[in-house]
Structure 1
Amino acid sequence: MAGRRRWTTDEILDAAAELLRTSDADSFSVRKLAAALGTDSSSLYRHFRSKTELLRAVADRVLLAAMDGHRAEGDWRRRLTALALHLREAFGRQPQLAAVWGRYASSGTGSRMVMEEVLQALRASGLPDAEIPVRYHRIAVLIAALIASEAGAVTVAPEEHEQGMELFRVAVLGADPERFPALAHFARDIHPLGADRRAVFEELLAAQLDQIEGVVRSRQGRTA
């Protein structure tokens, strides 16, 4: 009798990514993945030592795809902005994996490529080396949080989204002006969190880059 098929690492990651399109990291399991592949969990543990390691590898493939379309062009601000938008676009095509990246991070080649580009761009900004790790961390956390937040909104089922919008309208437009005077005053101009996310993404990133530029200019002024 023929033995069970031996799946390659890439095939396992393909299947995991597909399974994550219809579920989240909490409900995902190596057992479910093995069942989808028609094999047993032990065969998958030959490739990945744990569920976390597997999820990190899946997220890393998204980073690799983003870096494949990224070109380190322009000044440091343009490089960082272009990188952030490439990551946003890549996870926008696979929003379920954004939460995986935000929670489990990645330690593969894609992650190292992203880290290298951010660090190189920060060095090109004129920041002293001693300040670059802190600024790197702030940018990384900001980008991951914004992407995960946006992905969370995208993956909500239509009926759940509509229910949320109705609750929002009731909470805002129906606010008691005596108890919530400011909310009642601005009610018709307050938008749900899902509105205009692209502009918010770019504005918050620009604000972080403005801080870096301010630090560089301040140091340059002291040494002039």
Structure 2
Amino acid sequence: MAKAVVPETARRRRRPTRSGTVLSEEIIVRTALRVLREHGSTGLTARRLGAALGADPSTLYRYFAGMDDLTRAIGDELMGQALAGWEATGNWRADLRALGLAIHASYLAHPQAAVLTASRVTGRPREIAVDETILGILRGAGLPDPAAVRVYHAFIDQSLAFAALDAGSLALTDEARTADERMWESTYARLPAESHPNIAATAHLLARRMPHSAYPAALEMLLEHTAAQLARTGAGSG
């Protein structure tokens, strides 16, 4: 059974950790990001995190109900970092594009954390703020609520799905990632036109494009779709 979380006002330690740090949720989450970077998405444990903090592992349960609760907090931190680097312009299309790219970039900055958290719903304040912002952009552009929710659903799932996919590639060893990327030239480009005419015709293009993320292109497709919906309703521009 998960332990009860101590209220925020009662969480501050009377004494610093062995490293001289007074713990907080923010310090624990940022240390967890470092542990993930060093040990991968399966390497985050209470024992390892406690060692990195210079604290007994049980101390973590004064701040989080369990490791799953910490995982949600890590996802919320990534959402917060995305929103912190974004500014509204009032142009729905530019704002959605910038926010999507900010979410994608925030997760790719911490690929091991992205692999761990991209599929989670945290229910925490910064994730909620991102969701409120997206829906506000769409409703403000003039989309009826059912359409706004459909686009929101596609937008956030697309952003996180590509974040997880691209983060998975970044989390590979350099050797494995390079081998995957070379496959387009070592295997696909050598397929004969007689048996694989379409791949053979486009092999040079595939080799150039496939090692890169398709997220920007997919995002533009979604924005085009949204613009078409707004045109049909006679609302919005951009």
Give the TM-score band, short-chain normalised. 0.7 to 0.9
Q: Equivalent residue for 2:224? A: 210
Per-residue CA deviations over 1:163-212 (Å, capped at 9, x if unaligned) read 22344433212324443232233223322765342xx3222112112212
Kept in 2, the 8 Å contact 1:66–1:86? The answer is yes
1:30 is matched by which residue type in structure 2?
A
Q: CA deviation at 1:95?
A: 2.5
Kept in 2, the 8 Å contact 1:91–1:97? The answer is yes
Deviates more, 1:125-134 or 1:175-184: 175-184
Q: Does 1:219 align with 2:233?
A: yes
Identity over aligned pairs, percent: 25
Write the distance in 2 (CA, Å) between the matches of 1:183 and 1:160: 23
Q: Equivalent residue for 1:114? A: 130
- Provide the TM-score with structure 2 as the length reference: 0.80
Q: Does 1:181 align with 2:197?
A: yes
Write the distance in 1 (CA, Å) between the matches of 2:92 and 2:122: 24
Question: Structure 1 stretches (4+) deviating beyond 4 angstroms?
Answer: none
- Provide the TM-score with structure 1 as the length reference: 0.84
5+ residue gaps, structure 1, are none
Kept in 2, the 8 Å contact 1:77–1:209? The answer is yes
Q: CA deviation at 1:149?
A: 2.0
Q: Please give the residue correspondences for 1:1-224 in structure 2 after superposition, counting only pairs within 5 Å.
A: 5=17, 7-191=23-207, 194-197=210-213, 200-220=214-234
Write the distance in 1 (CA, Å) between the matches of 2:121 and 2:209: 25
Distance 1:194 1:214, change over 3 A: same
Q: Secondary structure at the match of 2:39?
A: coil
2:206 is matched by which residue type in structure 1?
I
Kept in 1, the 8 Å contact 2:73–2:124? The answer is yes
Distance 1:189 1:9, change over 3 A: closer
Kept in 2, the 8 Å contact 1:60–1:109? The answer is yes
Write the distance in 1 (CA, Å) between the matches of 2:183 and 2:71: 34
Kept in 2, the 8 Å contact 1:56–1:106? The answer is yes
Q: Secondary structure at the match of 1:195?
A: coil
Deviates more, 1:180-189 or 1:133-142: 180-189
Write the distance in 2 (CA, Å) between the matches of 1:52 and 1:25: 13
Per-residue CA deviations over 1:37-75 (Å, capped at 9, x if unaligned) read 343332212211121210111121222122122211131
Kept in 2, the 8 Å contact 1:30–1:41? The answer is yes
Kept in 2, the 8 Å contact 1:125–1:213? The answer is no
2:217 is matched by which residue type in structure 1?
E
